[in-house]
Chain A
Amino acid sequence: MNPARPGAEKFDSPLLQLDKATLRFGGLAAVSDLDLSLGRNELVGLIGPNGAGKTSAFNLITGVYPPSGGSILFDGRPMANRKPHQIARAGIARTFQNIRLFASMTVFDNVRTAARLHCPRGVRNALWRGRSFRDGEKEISGQVMELLEIFQLGKFHAAAATSLSYGDQRRLEIIRALATKPKLLLLDEPAAGMNATEKAELMRLIQFIKDRFQVSILLVEHDMKVVMGICERIVVLDYGMKIAEGTPAEIRAHPKVIEAYLGD
């Protein structure tokens, strides 16, 4: 590839770059002056005690709240002040700390709703129900079932999403996010409420997702031991500020991190 080609440098630039990103709620800075950079196909852990601002950082990146300051670049484009659905279309998908599935829908429909992102057909198509509609629906349906099968949820496709076990609901949320074909996947405490075996299994799954779908993953976890095994790099937040960043070994030995977690 010719390195002089315009746009080629995009591949060297980070996928996601936060520069002094800040989110304030009244007097409280939930995230303050956060610098964060994430490469392509990289898996980074974002850890910190409860209330450290991890979820707020996700809400900032996904546009749930506009930043009170700083900038957010994704794929070289500014994301600040874009609407959540625009950010999703740009290629950022997420799960939620408190599971937020579409409660009235089936497992299949939860994923199908997200898969629509890459299918521009709308009102007229649905009303006319012609060939292109049927082909489109069939294609989406195939994609959805394939995704569900990969995660062994195919047999539950017609079940109500809320009837799944807690662990399966968490996995369904990940599948739903993947259905948007993201470049960046944000996972907010996907292991919450799981026992040690389930957590270990989930971490293997996350690694698998990264390789299979070629996505970058930012993984929030409260318990730092869980992410140590799979993340190449870890960022530690406390009181909205980044207090440390480095390899798992560096983080484990970092005095500020030890202090933050002892105080937790």
Chain B
Amino acid sequence: MNIRHAKTFLLGALALGFLVSVAASHFNSYWLFITYDIAINVILAVSLNLINGYTGQFSLGHAGFMAVGAYTAAVITNQFGDLNPFAAGAVFSGALLAGGALAAGAGLLVGIPTLRLRGDYLAIVTLGFGEIIRVIFQNMQGVGGARGLSVAHGWTDFFWAFGAAAAAVYVVAALVHSTYGRGFLAVRDDEVAASAMGINPVRYKVTAFVVGAFFAGVAGGLYAHSKQFITPGGFNFMQSVSIVVMVILGGMGNTVGVILAAVLLTLLPEFLRPIAEYRMILYSLLLVVLMLARPQGLFTFRKQGDAK
């Protein structure tokens, strides 16, 4: 991605999202909702890619951050969404940001104690964190407990979904493609050498966790206002795994590849829908085959990770 035109890209994406959302009534609503899923998965995958791909951590708790954002945003819009019909956009954006902020706070909480851990250990701790979040919501009767929570407003549309996706892509790409951002890759490549060059690995890891969690929270808010019904079970371990799969399949630390993988893996189950009961088996088989055939990621073509 040519980062020099990044701001233009961001504005272009927002404008396109707006135009499509204006014309949304002319589109098949089934496919429209799938495009929201695509945007949400792009946000999740791109943000996890900052943690797992660029910084070389292994987080398995992204669904937990997503849950924090989803519940926070849903509770806010359920509470304040009807106050003033003209302020809907403001309430929604506030709710999404609050969801992101709370998720980022959770990211900070998980990030700090887990920084001494590496690889498998970090994966286990973040997995545990995700499950704890899920269990907490399951037992919170105020938000419906295990029965789930209805979300009054279906505010997620093309503009919000793709605007947020463009923002997530921009933030991750802009961070990584700077002298400052080379530090994420340095920490991943060789932590000892990185610290010998004056890079504070703790700082970079926490930043990756916080930024990643923020966008997972925003994605959760969008998800809640697209489905209009959320249950703790929707943010389980499998959801975290499916985001990890997008990152691995796209090629760790390859933003464009990860975006393509998120699109592909959102669409694949839809195309497999006609063969209903064999769908998940085929999906899993396809994943296994893809991993074996292209362990470096489907969309990684250069041998060197991320050169410039």
Query: Once bound together, how far apart are the Cα atoms of A140 and B185, in whole Å?
Result: 18
Which residues of chain A are near B306, meaning CB under 8 Å? 104
Which residues of chain A are near B193, meaning CB under 8 Å? 96, 100-102
Query: Once bound together, how far apart are the Cα atoms of A115 and B199, in whole Å?
Result: 10
On B, residues with C-beta under 8 Å from A are 6-7, 171, 174-175, 178-183, 185-186, 188-190, 192-201, 207, 253, 303-308
Would you give the shortest CB distance from A68 to chain B, in whole angstroms?
19
Q: Quick one: which of A124-172 are within 8 Å of B by CB?
A: 125-127, 129, 133, 136-137, 140, 158, 160
A–B Cβ pairs within 8 angstroms, 17 of them: A83-B195, A85-B200, A85-B201, A100-B193, A104-B305, A105-B189, A106-B304, A109-B182, A113-B182, A113-B183, A117-B197, A119-B179, A127-B175, A133-B178, A158-B307, A177-B197, A180-B197
Which of A21-29, A86-94, A191-199, A251-259 faces chain B?
Answer: A86-94
Which residues of chain B are near A88, meaning CB under 8 Å? 195-198
Would you give the shortest CB distance from B66 to chain A, in whole angstroms?
22
Query: Once bound together, how far apart are the Cα atoms of A93 and B194, in whole Å?
Result: 11
Residue A77 interfacial (CB < 8 Å): no
Write the A114-126 contact mask toward B (1 if CB under 8 angstroms, else 0): 1111010111011
Whether A94 contacts B199 by the Cβ 8 Å rule is no
Would you give the shortest CB distance from B292 to chain A, in whole angstroms?
23
Which residues of chain A are near B171, meaning CB under 8 Å? 127
Q: Which 3 pairs show the lowest CB-CB distances between chains A and B?
A: A104-B305, A117-B198, A126-B178
Which residues of chain A are near B201, meaning CB under 8 Å? 85
Whether B189 contacts A103 by the Cβ 8 Å rule is yes
* Residue from the list B7, B195, B200, B253 in contact with A104, Cβ < 8 A: B253
Whether B182 contacts A116 by the Cβ 8 Å rule is yes
Residue A17 interfacial (CB < 8 Å): no
* Residue from the list A100, A105, A115 in contact with B185, Cβ < 8 A: A105
Which residues of chain B are near A113, meaning CB under 8 Å? 179, 182-183, 185-186, 194, 197, 199
Query: Once bound together, how far apart are the Cα atoms of A197 and B253, in whole Å?
Result: 41
Q: Please count how many residues in chain A sit with their CB below 8 Å of the partner chain's CB atoms.
A: 42
Which residues of chain A are near B198, meaning CB under 8 Å? 85, 88-89, 114, 116-117, 180
Whether B179 contacts A137 by the Cβ 8 Å rule is yes
Q: Nearest B residue to A114 by beta-carbon distance?
A: B197
Query: Once bound together, how far apart are the Cα atoms of A77 and B165, in whole Å?
Result: 48
A137 in contact with B182 given A85-B198, A88-B195 (CB within 8 Å): no
Whether B197 contacts A126 by the Cβ 8 Å rule is no
A102 in contact with B196 given A112-B179, A116-B179, A160-B307 (CB within 8 Å): no
Query: Once bound together, how far apart are the Cα atoms of A15 and B162, in whole Å?
Result: 56
Which residues of chain B are near A101, meaning CB under 8 Å? 190, 193
Residue A84 interfacial (CB < 8 Å): yes
* Residue from the list A83, A94, A112, A133 in contact with B182, Cβ < 8 A: A112
Which residues of chain B are near A115, meaning CB under 8 Å? 179
Which residues of chain B are near A112, meaning CB under 8 Å? 179, 182
Write the A30-69 contact mask toward B (1 if CB under 8 angstroms, else 0): 0000000000000000000000000000000010100000
A85 in contact with B179 given A103-B189, A104-B189, A106-B308 (CB within 8 Å): no
Would you give the shortest CB distance from B196 to chain A, in whole angstroms?
6
Would you give the shortest CB distance from A187 to chain B, in whole angstroms?
13
Would you give the shortest CB distance from B83 to chain A, in whole angstroms?
32
Query: Once bound together, how far apart are the Cα atoms of A85 and B196, in whole Å?
Result: 6
Q: Nearest B residue to A100 by beta-carbon distance?
A: B193
Query: Once bound together, how far apart are the Cα atoms of A88 and B186, in whole Å?
Result: 15
